[in-house]
Amino acid sequence: MRKIINSPDNVVSEMMEGFIGAYSRYYEKHPKVNGVILKRRRKDKVALVVGGGSGHEPLFSGFVGKGLADAAACGNIFASPDPNTICETAKAVEQGRGVLFVYGCYAGDNLNFDMGEEFLKDEGIATAHVRIWDDVTSAPKDRIEDRRGIAGDIFVIKIAGAACDAGLSLEEVTRVTEKARDNTRSVGVATAPAQLPGIDKPIFELPEGEIEYGMGLHGERGVLRTTWQDADVLVEKMYAQIMEDAQLKAGDEVCVLVNGLGSTTITELAIAYRKVKKLLDRDGIKVYDTDLNSYCTSQEMGGFSITLFKLDEELKGYYDMPCYCPFYAKGELAAAGTLQAEENRDASLEDGGSQAGGTPAEEPEFDENDVEAARIVRSREGVLTELNAEDARNMLIYIADKIIAKKPYLTEIDSAIGDGDHGIGMAGGMQKAKKKLLKMEGEENVYAIFEAAGKAMLLSMGGASGVIFGSLYLAGAKGMEPASVLTAADLAGMERKSLAAIQERGKAEAGDKTMVDALVPAVEAMEESSGKGLLAMLKAAEEAAAKGVEDTKKYQARFGRAKSLMERAVGYQDAGATSVWLILQGMREFVEDTV
């Protein structure tokens, strides 16, 4: 598929440059990170920061505006922003009354926004978050916190923005936003797949005459595949599932959004709404407001979602408050068609000034032109019995090159049950770690090597992988007393610490179809074999990790994009577990002198 891009490596940075340039009247870019900042903001209020992966435009950057979000932290395509982007974006708009984060409930977003909040709290800034989980197909009601956010984001952001502009406290803004979230239900279907920029294959294959039911925001597969159906039949099924979950009754009032996923026409959305309205009328449910638009997209995916947002008097008051951004407007500002009229009347708007001073060039997530393998130097020939700092540095550089070379393989694995971004995310993170490590020649503290590599990955990758794989190096080394060498026992102890931190962050256990399925048996093998020497320990760890990867084929996923597939994820190996195995394989190859 041909996309209107230049280099795939620069899609997000060039998109951001064009977006800010087009709407510079309203927005500026954060000078250091991919944050979209509203230039003129109300004074003395809770700051609202939204965010998530790019590729869903106009969500999230397009919902920064008057009465909406103050800023958006933007990740790479279909990957959450990293903690540094989240933290720096929030600091740019925080006014002393705290920050509310609103984002879709996905593993990567949850991990990265949690860590971003930790950074802010360390600086004395109060924070809260509301995770949106409106997709009723992605988990049963008794596991509602496992559901993902799709087009319901629009209603929740609208209410959150109004509550912030009303001057409510952080606690009250959070309560109102959670109420809006809990009154929102959605179902989506896909009629054609999306394709990531720079990737040769679509995220999934969809044969002629079939649709994916229960499609997620990132283009991951639906919860089931079914035959093509007429619009009325499909809408009735989607409506019934929403109604069963939301328990709406006659006399209730709702707002309706029929949202296109990227390539669906207004004609099709209107035909779908026609049936939705008939069903609502039949059930005695009043329609307060309706939107037919493509707000929450997945590149050029075909299909749509239906969202019902139940109102009460409190929520109706916030919904009726005016808002405006170039892509979405309600109330008097919608009629005016411009933010300027409101700015002239509203003396409480604050001119944030230009923070960016122009848009700096952005480093691409992964630079295809920077893939030449580094020259690897070992302290001596033959098998290493311990790692000094220089050996550790060269080993991690070797592993980085190995993962970069495996990018297509990891992409293929992830595309089977995910959204296909694991390969580019891992390669990009390893590329950043490699650049950092290449500058650390002469470092004598072996733990500082691991810590620097892990931090470079964590702050650059985004997605769940950034936090998790950054922690694989960082967590075990952080806080350790400086040491010049690393023994087998030291490495085993370091990886045990990393595993504990990863499980504390992600909450995954063995059997959940995550990287933990490879890491848990590997760490156990390291502890059991550490007395046999470094090479024997790493051989045992590599073998255990390989078996863990194979075991993931038997499991349903409990985390990540694949969790909504349930039994349809069985038979596919987990990409994260595969990366763990490759990293351990790289360690063994370096120590054995087979690089």
pLDDT digits (tens, 9 = 90+) for 156-194: 999 999 999 999 999 999 999 999 999 999 999 988 888
Instruction: Answer for the pair 294, 307: CB distance below 8 angstroms, yes or no.
Output: no
How far, in Å, CA of 152 to CA of 491, rounded?
Answer: 45
At residue 345, does pLDDT exceed 50? no
CB atoms within 10 A of CB 73: 34
Pairing of strands 35-38, 71-77: antiparallel
Determine which one of 30, 56, 129, 218 is catalytic.
218
Are domains 8-328 and 387-592 of this chain identical in fold? no
How far, in Å, CA of 345 to CA of 115, rounded?
Answer: 39
Q: How confident is the model at residue 328 (pLDDT cuts 50, 70, 90)?
A: very high
How far, in Å, CA of 582 to CA of 512, rounded?
Answer: 20
CB atoms within 10 A of CB 60: 28
Q: How confident is the model at residue 467 (pLDDT cuts 50, 70, 90)?
A: confident
What is the number of H-type helices and E-type strands within the chain?
A: 19, 18
At residue 431, does pLDDT exceed 70? yes
pLDDT reported for residue 349: 40
Instruction: Please state which of the ranges 35-44, 117-126, 223-232, 511-520 shows the lowest mean pLDDT.
Output: 223-232
pLDDT reported for residue 363: 59
The residue to which tokens 């008794």 are assigned: 142
Q: What is the mean pLDDT of residues 566-581?
A: 92
How far, in Å, CA of 100 to CA of 129, rounded?
Answer: 5
Strand partners, 69: 64
Digit-coded pLDDT (tens) for 50-102: 999 999 999 999 999 999 999 999 999 888 999 999 999 999 999 999 999 99
Stretch (H or E) spanning 14? helix 11-22
Q: What is the mean pLDDT of residues 463-479?
A: 88
218 is catalytic: yes
At residue 1, does pLDDT exceed 80? no
DSSP state, 185? E
Q: Which two tokens stand for residue 196?
A: 């990531």
Of residues 8 and 442, which shows the higher confidence score?
A: 442
Q: What is the mean pLDDT of residues 109-115?
A: 94
pLDDT reported for residue 506: 84
Q: How confident is the model at residue 413 (pLDDT cuts 50, 70, 90)?
A: very high
Stretch (H or E) spanning 212? strand 210-213
The residue to which tokens 């007393």 are assigned: 481
At residue 351, does pLDDT exceed 60? no
How far, in Å, CA of 76 to CA of 379, rounded?
Answer: 38
Sign of CA dihedral 191, 194, 200, 201: negative
Q: How confident is the model at residue 355 (pLDDT cuts 50, 70, 90)?
A: very low
pLDDT reported for residue 460: 82
pLDDT reported for residue 415: 86
DSSP assignment of 346-386:
-TTEEE---SSSS-PPPPPSS-TT--PPPPP--SSSS--SS
Digit-coded pLDDT (tens) for 200-218: 788 777 788 888 888 777 6
Pairing of strands 71-77, 349-351: unpaired
DSSP assignment of 416-430:
HHS-S-HHHHHHHHH
Phi, psi of 580, deg, nearest 5: -60, -45
DSSP state, 507? -
Instruction: Answer for the pair 415, 561: CB distance below 8 angstroms, yes or no.
Output: no
* Model pTM score: 0.74
How far, in Å, CA of 482 to CA of 438, rounded?
Answer: 20
Instruction: Answer for the pair 287, 257: CB distance below 8 angstroms, yes or no.
Output: no
Task: Give the CATH fold of the 8-328 domain.
Answer: Rossmann fold (3.40.50)
pLDDT reported for residue 220: 60
Digit-coded pLDDT (tens) for 132-153: 999 999 889 999 999 999 999 9
Digit-coded pLDDT (tens) for 583-592: 999 999 999 9
Displacement of CA 430 from its chain's centroid (Å): 18
Peptide bond into 58 cis (omega under 30): yes
Contacts of 527-533 spanning 24+ positions with Cβ under 8 A: 527/492, 527/496, 529/488, 530/488, 530/489, 530/491, 530/492, 531/488, 531/489, 532/488, 533/385, 533/488
Q: 95, 114, 87, 97: which is closest to 32 by C-alpha? A: 87
**Where do the structural domains in the chain lie, given as residue ranges?**
8-328, 387-592
Instruction: Answer for the pair 483, 388: CB distance below 8 angstroms, yes or no.
Output: no
Displacement of CA 101 from its chain's centroid (Å): 14
Of residues 512 and 350, which shows the higher confidence score?
A: 512
Instruction: Answer for the pair 576, 545: CB distance below 8 angstroms, yes or no.
Output: no
Q: What average pLDDT does the structure give for the chain?
A: 90
Burial grade of 140 (CB within 10 A; 0-12, 13-18, 19 or more): exposed
Q: What is the mean pLDDT of residues 321-326?
A: 93
Domain formed by 387-592, architecture: Alpha Horseshoe (1.25)
